[in-house]
Chains A and B, each alone.
Chain A
Amino acid sequence: GENVEQHPSTLSVQEGDSAVIKCTYSDSASNYFPWYKQELGKRPQLIIDIRSNVGEKKDQRIAVTLNKTAKHFSLHITETQPEDSAVYFCAASPSRLGYSTLTFGKGTMLLVSP
Chain B
Amino acid sequence: GAGVSQSPRYKVAKRGQDVALRCDPISGHVSLFWYQQALGQGPEFLTYFQNEAQLDKSGLPSDRFFAERPEGSVSTLKIQRTQQEDSAVYLCASTSPGQNTEAFFGQGTRLTVV
Contact = CB atoms under 8 A, between A and B. Distances in A.
Interface of A: 4, 6, 31-32, 34, 36, 42-46, 49, 51, 89, 91, 93, 95, 97-107
B44 A43 contact: no
B86 to A, nearest CB: 19
A97 B56 contact: yes
B96 to A, nearest CB: 11
Contacts, number: 65
Interface residues of B, number: 26
Interface string B80-114: 00000000000100010001111111111000000
Contacts of B62: none
A34 B103 CA distance: 9
B113 to A, nearest CB: 19
Contacts of A97: 56
